[in-house]
Structure 1
Amino acid sequence: MTKDRLAAIDIGTNSIRCIVVECNKDGSFRILDDEKDTVRLGEGIAETGEISAAAVARAEAALTRMHKLVTGLKVKAIDAVATSAMRKSANGPRLVKRFSELLGSEIRVISGDEEAALAAQSALRNFDTHGKRFGVIDVGGGSVELITAQGVHVEEFYSFELGAVVMTEQFFRVDPARDSDYRRFQKHVREIIKKQLDGDKLVLPTLIGSGGTINAIAQMALQLRRNPVESVHGLEVLRSEVVHLLAMLQRRDIKGRREVAGLSPDRADIIVAGVGLVDTMMELFNANTLLVNAHGVREGMILEAIKRRGMAPEAASPRSWRESVISFGQSCQMDDMHSQQVATLSLALFDQLADHFGLKKRERVLLEAAALLHDIGYYISYHSHHKHSCHLIRHAELFGITPREREMVAVIARYHRKSLPKKKHDEFQRLTVKEQATVGRLAGILRMADGLDRRRCFAVSGLQCRVEGNLVQLVLSGAEDLAVELFGASAKRDLFEKSFGVQVLFVTQAACAVTEKEL
């Protein structure tokens, strides 16, 4: 059955981006293509008041190519918006008409508040914000949008003319940036934000950020950590890391900045202003954590387009990390009943061992996610399906689970069968020593739980853990003979015993009852 396709084109001050998606009837969608071109429409606007002829030529070339792309992909509709540069330039209205003819679709010039609302939609779709106080920032070339929110309730929209291109042209004409110029820039940013907030002091412990500058910060932070993940989406970047990156970038000239690992060379000239802006906002709002939303405004446009065009009842949004995990598992044709049983047994083990071994609450989430997804590798092949599960999970986008946590979930699932962790296993070696210890324990639990459902008939209905010194006794109960389950779990107790430093003894409730009766 042919599915409808949509394209969203965001004509920004620094770059033009085009995303093409295929829509499902439930409102969800998958990305088919994502194209970007750095055209710098905002170049020189502060001096001339107009978008330059050179920038127009670059934009026309980019839009012509994108039009060919979406035509070839047979999209049903194109939704295109233009932001700060088009809002500010004197020749903006004429260019909107001209660019619309190139695309064969009308381009809407949206306000800062509308831009902020699109970024907020994307953030709420991708992050678990229930009960949390936070802000959403979208950092562009011409403007910066801020949204304040509590839980799932958006409070205020703000738009500041503080984009990375505009600020670079206004304050950083000397390379490398002079300390005096940076202080003037920082003072200006603070004054503009405080003035628009009308004296209100915002405390936003977490900022969810989108836009090119945010993605660049995430990529550079990953390189500094030397602990890469597959995607920056959902990455947690600390304020201390932003401060460190800013200091490093300020010391370098543009040639040196182009050599910074993780930074695209075409952003090297505006990155000091971009990172400086993020640092100043984090300082102003007492934010210690920056969460990276790799989707942002374009995803918000897709969500709006799906609703507006009636292509689905409503764009689907995950309500919890668990629903997201189950949805992903079902897309890989997971065995729901077996997965749920293994998760139930895993959590029963975890809960009874937690106090004695100091297991943490968040580790329970990782274990449950890995238990639900441990067998999705069957989607590729039975043979080496534990490795396939690891690969699929590493590349998944799981709501409410950070990229580092996703890496751990993938490796936990990988060790539910076959060999124990080894130095030659790349996925395991990418983890920190602390993460490796956690993965070993959680994978040890999952491995035994999987053995306890060896026949996939849910024979084990309950279990009790008894810890005495270095001995862990597991008492199993069920309505039928559990010989196969005892064999399955016993054969897979190796990682548990190694990780916890214990020995495991399996007995059945029926056997215990006979022993007690004899006594």
Structure 2
Amino acid sequence: MPQRSPRTSAPAVHRPPRPVAVIDIGASAIRMAIAEIRDAGEVRTLDTLVQPVSLGREAFETRRLSRKNIERAAEILKQYQRVLREYGITDPANVRVVATSAVREAANRLAFTDRIFVVTGLSVEPIDEAEVNRITYMGITPQLRAHNILDNGRTVVLEVGGGSTELLVVRSGNVLSSDSYRLGSLRMLKTLETARTGAVRRRPILENHIRRALTLVSEAVSSDGGLNMVAIGGDIRIATRLLLGDDWEGGELAEIDVKALSKLTDEIVVLDDDTIVKRYGVSFIEAETLGPALLSYSMLANHFGLKKIFVSDTNLRDGLLHDMAVGGSWTAEFRNQIVRSALSLGRKFHFDEMHTRNVAELSRKLFDQLHSAHQLDSRHEVLLYVAALLHEIGTLINVRSHHKHALYIIKNSELFGLSKGELLQVGLVARYYRRAAPQPSHVDYMSLSRDERVVVSKLAAILRIASALDDTRSGRIREIECVREGDRLVINVPGVSDVSLERIALQQKSSLFRDIYGMSVLLRAGN
């Protein structure tokens, strides 16, 4: 027989790195990071820029941003655009601009984002606490996994910002809780200015403000058993470099002694901004928030009885760049974190876990097999799955109208990884799994954009079918095969010979599916 030549694989095509940028509009500064993303998802930061603004001071006091500061922000972003052009970054798809608490809390935030768009063409995305926690988790997870103690133990990830303090509790890679507190360095400075106190009373007022937050933190984080803390944020990074000097290399977690941190805090918190700048070599924008922030970190560490804490140099921009590297998609691990959070909420309301898990799995299989019809992405599959898990959560309040109570509970809860907007969509999908279809008179539904309303309708229609398939609550239908025959969807159920009860349920629940997808539904028993 003739010998075959060895098969050679085609040479790998290496595309040039993709230049991208992220801009973070914060309470006290607008920061930009420019990076390149390689084929393997590797991110290499090329440049960073920072310009001070005073958005937080006025937003936290008056809940409005002044015209002067809006124009200042627009001018900074115009300057940043010139830098972006130097790096060849001109496509808006390669630039992500986010705004945190200062813009988010301003009553005229739409005027701010519209003005920025008019001046620069950049779309500003105000992100809520849930999105900040998601991005933080994405950024910090690699460092936690690389450290044996943190990877296997219970860890509090803490960032004291200008407007709020974000807190994650993680154990063995699983998020146990995520919370946001109105404890921010700029908010505390505003309290001091309002009190018009002297240097002697400065620290007691700050401590009283922090203790109020500590009470809430204690409710969310038990100090029983081993607990570690990883601190992130610009202020704690400054303190770490002051304490460790050249011993801290970027990219690695640093360990600092809590007593040493407390001593440094004692020195800084009584100084004015000018003295801090001269003595410690920081900028005025950094000097302003350094004392209140370090006092918060040290009081939290001492509250939990910690002798040392870990400090990470990761930041919001690192997480945003990582998010761009993965195309904004949710990894399987992150999806599981959201599902675990949903299960925890369901158990608090004593939901029928076996039934809702089966409905969720049937929803997922319908979503996968109907992809050509709905054209939604993997994020929407997660929203559907969570809605299926929680669609009966309102029965603890009232059985007859439990779908309406489910909406209320879900949209007013916190599920790790889901923003307020995503929670509303989940709640509406659960609300429309039975009874009336979406109506123009439904306020929550009409508050969504047109695209979001279409998503809710598509997902709710699928959830109705999945719920009907487990109408007997026996879990006997687990596998399905969907086939389109003209204007009819045929759902084959292998291994189940009698589906008469499920057919009755489908007749009652399939009208929304027919209206949205233009297909009637036929359930066919297997052989």
Q: 1:174 to 1:190 in 2, by over 3 A?
A: closer
- The answer to whether structure 1 residue 11 and structure 2 residue 30 are counterparts is no
Code of the aligned partner of 2:139: S
Unaligned 5+ runs, structure 1? 316-519
Aligned residues: 311
Q: TM-score, normalised by structure 2?
A: 0.54
- 2:107 is matched with which residue? 90
1:439-494 Cα distance to aligned partner (Å, 9 max, x none): xxxxxxxxxxxxxxxxxxxxxxxxxxxxxxxxxxxxxxxxxxxxxxxxxxxxxxxx
- The answer to whether structure 1 residue 20 and structure 2 residue 39 are counterparts is no
- 2:290 is matched with which residue? 271
- The answer to whether structure 1 residue 294 and structure 2 residue 316 are counterparts is no
Q: 1:196 to 1:208 in 2, by over 3 A?
A: closer
- The answer to whether structure 1 residue 216 and structure 2 residue 250 are counterparts is no
Q: 1:291 to 1:58 in 2, by over 3 A?
A: farther
Corresponding residue to 2:202 among 181, 199, 205: 181
Q: SS in structure 2 opposite 1:269?
A: helix
Q: SS in structure 2 opposite 1:278?
A: helix
Q: 1:276 to 1:63 in 2, by over 3 A?
A: same
For 2:332 and 2:72, the matched residues in 1 are separated by: 36
- 2:116 is matched with which residue? 99
1:320-354 Cα distance to aligned partner (Å, 9 max, x none): xxxxxxxxxxxxxxxxxxxxxxxxxxxxxxxxxxx
CA contact (8 A) 2:248 2:254 kept: no
1:56-83 Cα distance to aligned partner (Å, 9 max, x none): 2332222111122223212351111111
- The answer to whether structure 1 residue 158 and structure 2 residue 179 are counterparts is yes
- 1:116 is matched with which residue? 133
Q: SS in structure 2 opposite 1:246?
A: helix
Unaligned 5+ runs, structure 2? 1-14, 334-527
For 1:43 and 1:285, the matched residues in 2 are separated by: 30
Once the 2 structures are TM-superposed, how far is the Cα of residue 43 of structure 1 from its aligned partner? Answer: 1.8
Q: TM-score, normalised by structure 1?
A: 0.55
- The answer to whether structure 1 residue 66 and structure 2 residue 80 are counterparts is yes
CA contact (8 A) 2:42 2:325 kept: no
- The answer to whether structure 1 residue 140 and structure 2 residue 154 are counterparts is no
Q: Name whichever of 241-250 and 204-213 sits farther off.
A: 204-213
- 1:261 is matched with which residue? 280
For 1:280 and 1:89, the matched residues in 2 are separated by: 29
Q: SS in structure 1 opposite 2:177?
A: strand
Once the 2 structures are TM-superposed, how far is the Cα of residue 298 of structure 1 from its aligned partner? Answer: 0.9
CA contact (8 A) 1:254 1:269 kept: yes
Q: SS in structure 2 opposite 1:27?
A: coil
What's the RMSD between the two structures over aligned residues? 2.8
For 1:235 and 1:195, the matched residues in 2 are separated by: 27
Corresponding residue to 2:327 among 286, 301, 308: 308
CA contact (8 A) 1:137 1:209 kept: yes
1:266-318 Cα distance to aligned partner (Å, 9 max, x none): 322222111111112212233333322222211111122222357x9999xxx
Q: 1:287 to 1:59 in 2, by over 3 A?
A: farther
Q: SS in structure 2 opposite 1:270?
A: helix
Code of the aligned partner of 2:103: M
Q: 1:171 to 1:306 in 2, by over 3 A?
A: same
1:403-451 Cα distance to aligned partner (Å, 9 max, x none): xxxxxxxxxxxxxxxxxxxxxxxxxxxxxxxxxxxxxxxxxxxxxxxxx
Once the 2 structures are TM-superposed, how far is the Cα of residue 137 of structure 1 from its aligned partner? Answer: 1.4
Q: 1:155 to 1:101 in 2, by over 3 A?
A: farther
Q: SS in structure 1 opposite 2:78?
A: helix
For 1:247 and 1:125, the matched residues in 2 are separated by: 33
Q: SS in structure 1 opposite 2:288?
A: coil
For 1:285 and 1:234, the matched residues in 2 are separated by: 20
Once the 2 structures are TM-superposed, how far is the Cα of residue 197 of structure 1 from its aligned partner? Answer: 5.2
Q: 1:103 to 1:2 in 2, by over 3 A?
A: farther
- The answer to whether structure 1 residue 47 and structure 2 residue 56 are counterparts is no
Q: SS in structure 2 opposite 1:42?
A: helix
Q: 1:181 to 1:229 in 2, by over 3 A?
A: closer
Once the 2 structures are TM-superposed, how far is the Cα of residue 230 of structure 1 from its aligned partner? Answer: 5.1
For 2:200 and 2:34, the matched residues in 1 are separated by: 43
Once the 2 structures are TM-superposed, how far is the Cα of residue 13 of structure 1 from its aligned partner? Answer: 0.7
Q: 1:314 to 1:198 in 2, by over 3 A?
A: closer
Q: SS in structure 2 opposite 1:258?
A: helix
1:88-127 Cα distance to aligned partner (Å, 9 max, x none): 1111121022223444332211111211221121111234
Corresponding residue to 2:52 among 14, 28, 38: 38
Q: 1:177 to 1:100 in 2, by over 3 A?
A: farther
Corresponding residue to 2:259 among 240, 243, 246: 240
Q: 1:49 to 1:106 in 2, by over 3 A?
A: same
Corresponding residue to 1:169 among 190, 197, 200: 190
1:223-259 Cα distance to aligned partner (Å, 9 max, x none): 5xxx555548522222112101111113323322121
Q: SS in structure 1 opposite 2:35?
A: strand
